[in-house]
């Protein structure tokens, strides 16, 4: 998205790519870590296991 539109904001990016998709089905707790990762290339993401 950013490559096609250099004026793309972080909010635009988060709207189209809200976060990673984990193969284990884990649930991401909070969005700040994802935001940091998109903005700086590094971020801490807390995940919770999904049972069932």
The predicted pLDDT at position 23 comes to 82
Helix runs in the chain, H state only: 10-16, 32-40
The predicted pLDDT at position 36 comes to 93
Mind listing the pLDDT tens digit for each residue in 12-29? Answer: 888 888 888 878 888 888
% of the chain with per-residue pLDDT over 70: 92
The predicted pLDDT at position 1 comes to 52
Q: Angle CA(29)–CA(32)–CA(37) in degrees, nearest 5?
A: 110
pLDDT band, residue 6 (cuts 50/70/90)? confident
Strand segments, DSSP code E, in 1-52 are 27-29, 46-48
Q: What is the mean pLDDT of the chain?
A: 84
As a whole number of angstroms, the distance between CA 52 and CA 50 comes to: 7
**Domain boundaries along the sequence of the chain:** 10-48
Report, in this order, helix, strand and coil percent for the chain, each rounded to 5: 30, 10, 60
């Amino acid at each position: 998205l950013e490559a096609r539109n250099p004026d793309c904001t972080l909010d635009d990016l988060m709207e189209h790519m809200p976060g990673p998709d984990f193969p284990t089905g884990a649930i991401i707790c909070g969005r700040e870590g994802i935001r940091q990762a998109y903005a700086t290339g590094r971020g801490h993401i807390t995940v919770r296991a999904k049972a069932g």
